[in-house]
Amino acid sequence: MSDNNRIIIFDTTLRDGEQSPGCAMNLEEKLRMARLLDELGVDVIEAGFPIASPGDFEAVYEISKAMKTAAVCGLARAIKADIEAAGNAIKPATDQGRGRIHTFISTSPLHMKHKLQMSPEAVLEKVEESVKFARSFTDDVEWSAEDASRTEDDFLCRTVEAAIKAGATTINIPDTVGYAVPEEYGAKIAMLMDRVPNIDQAVLSTHCHNDLGLAVANSLAGVQAGARQIECTVNGIGERAGNAALEEIVMAMRTRPDMLPYTNKIDTQRIIKTSRNLSAITGFNVQPNKAIVGANAFAHASGIHQDGMLKNVQTYEIMTPESVGLKESTLVMAKHSGRHAFRTKLEELGFELDDNALAEVFARFKILADKKKEIFEDDLIALVEDEVIRHNERVQFVSLQTQSGTVGPQVADMVLCVDGAEQQARVEGNGAVDAIFKAVRAIYPHPDARLKQYQVHGITGGTDAQAEVSVRLEENGRTVNGQGADSDTLMASARAYVNALNKLLIRREKQVDAQVRHAGP
Ligand code: KIV
Ligand code: ZN
């Protein structure tokens, strides 16, 4: 296989992924994810949109300092201030020859007319100007034609040629609204390979959204037509229906080299770990039937399948669980398990915790083990995820007493720690859960937020099962998801609501982000 078949994996979990409702991350969380992505072997990490907020700038800057092998990229509109911010944020990586600026402008008639209110000629000028300016910060410049899949071929060819002439080394062809179908998207890439005279001086890249569930298929069609970079996210997170899922793309290439003879640098055995840590950090779980990383992806429940599997695993298994880092393990932790075994077990499950976090999870494990007869792996995963998502929260859950029943008022007596100071509220409600949520609001008012969803499910079977609660809040069009787990459903509800509130606080900082992203040029 020649080097011509090497695919650059450009991960945008921390930029496009983080833009999606419920996936906001703080600086420490972004850094943790970036390290995991670096270890996973992605070639480029798009770490954020530096002009969008001071938090985004800082995250890109810190990630630029911390990455060991991956290139670090900052997003910028075709605006000088954006490009300057991106150039400054990636400086530590640029100094090591690994800093990229990704600048974009819309090229479709619809976007140029209604979003940018600019003529095609004016857009073309901006393309040249922005790429040239970006090149004054780094030699590694990526240019994107936003809404490329709905752009007229002739104009797309002109902009791509101009961007390469101005110094772009990667040309990205986004299917921004997830409208394309594979044959069409592949044809677009082939058309550019064929018609743009200087196309050999740049790498063509795919960036596909999943609105029709075709993001991965479109990306692979793009590669088959000549693209050599794929932009994707872990667990497929991203705006609306998300982006192409990294794990699906990588495992498709690995499982079907006959049809997809391409190489990449991903250590597939780290996929589960990266996926789980992202879910834990964002509180955004993947659906059980999600390809590669869903809880059922390697479960063979039906009798026929199990029988076939016992005779020959290949009857129903096209890739092994080990190849994505799922370790077979039946060890169930018991009440008397020690801290060392506990740590080993968590490592096996893909979690690495610092000593403080480990101590907290271990303490909660002991309490759970007292209440619950058997502790399953899913119990441990829920405990860790609950602990990880709470790490560094501005508002921390401390304690809760509730009074409920058919007679008398339902009351929640709650203590939260807000920015390091404990505060208490005793509030009556229309039911215990209502009282709990009102108590959080009494301690930390957020009158514009509306509760959009409240869901409870049992993690394992039995009446002593842990409950996992998810809470969705919406404030001025921004949606956040909070999660909480506990053997007591009311406690899990309080934790989930407090987690959602913390996510809201991060989202507020990022308000500028959304405005900036959807403004021109
Ligand atoms: O979807 C899109 O068009 C984008 C661009 C900024 C590359 O995310
Ligand atoms: Zn996108």
Alpha carbons 116 and 130: distance in angstroms, whole number: 15
What fold does the segment set 395-510 form as a domain? Double Stranded RNA Binding Domain (3.30.160)
Predicted pLDDT at 424? 97
Predicted pLDDT at 460? 66
Taking 50 as the threshold, does the pLDDT of residue 125 lie above it? yes
**Cα→Cα distances 53→49, 89, 423, 508, 516, Å:** 8, 12, 30, 11, 9
Taking 70 as the threshold, does the pLDDT of residue 435 lie above it? yes
Taking 50 as the threshold, does the pLDDT of residue 399 lie above it? yes
Predicted pLDDT at 91? 98
The model's pLDDT over 91-118, given as tens digits with 9 standing for 90+, comes to 999 999 999 999 999 999 999 999 999 9
The model's pLDDT over 419-430, given as tens digits with 9 standing for 90+, comes to 999 999 999 999
Give 432's strand partners: none
Taking 90 as the threshold, does the pLDDT of residue 479 lie above it? no
Residue extent(s) of CATH 3.20.20.70 domains in the chain: 3-289
Specify the higher pLDDT residue, 190 or 470.
190
Predicted pLDDT at 486? 87
Q: Residue 52 C-alpha to ligand 1 middle, in angstroms? A: 15
228-245 average pLDDT score: 97
Q: Which residues surround ligand 2, an ion (CB under 5 A)?
A: 16
- Contact by Cβ (8 Å): 385, 363: no
Mutation probe of ligand 1 site: the residue of 18, 100, 142, 176 with most atoms within 8 A of C-beta: 176
Nearest to 333 by CA among 346, 324, 317, 323: 346
Predicted pLDDT at 329? 46
258-268 average pLDDT score: 98
Give 263's strand partners: 6
500-511 average pLDDT score: 79
Q: What angle do CA 444, 446, 450 make, to 5 degrees?
A: 130
The model's pLDDT over 155-187, given as tens digits with 9 standing for 90+, comes to 999 999 999 999 999 999 999 999 999 999 999
Residue 410 has phi, psi (to 5 degrees) of -95, 125
Mutation probe of ligand 1 site: the residue of 14, 16, 75 with most atoms within 8 A of C-beta: 16
Q: Residue 110 C-alpha to ligand 2 middle, in angstroms? A: 17
Q: Residue 178 C-alpha to ligand 2 middle, in angstroms? A: 9
Kindly report the average pLDDT of the chain as a whole number: 90
Predicted pLDDT at 326? 87
Residue extent(s) of CATH 3.30.160.270 domains in the chain: 395-510
Taking 70 as the threshold, does the pLDDT of residue 189 lie above it? yes
Q: Is the CB of residue 146 below 6 angstroms from any atom belonging to ligand 1? A: yes
- pTM of structure: 0.81
Copy the structure tokens of residue 196.
């743009």
Exposure of 477 in the CB half-sphere (CA atoms within 13 A): 4
What fold does the segment set 3-289 form as a domain? TIM Barrel (3.20.20)
Predicted pLDDT at 2? 45
Copy the structure tokens of residue 420.
């390091």
The model's pLDDT over 323-360, given as tens digits with 9 standing for 90+, comes to 999 876 455 677 788 888 888 888 887 787 878 888 88
Residue 173 has phi, psi (to 5 degrees) of -115, 85
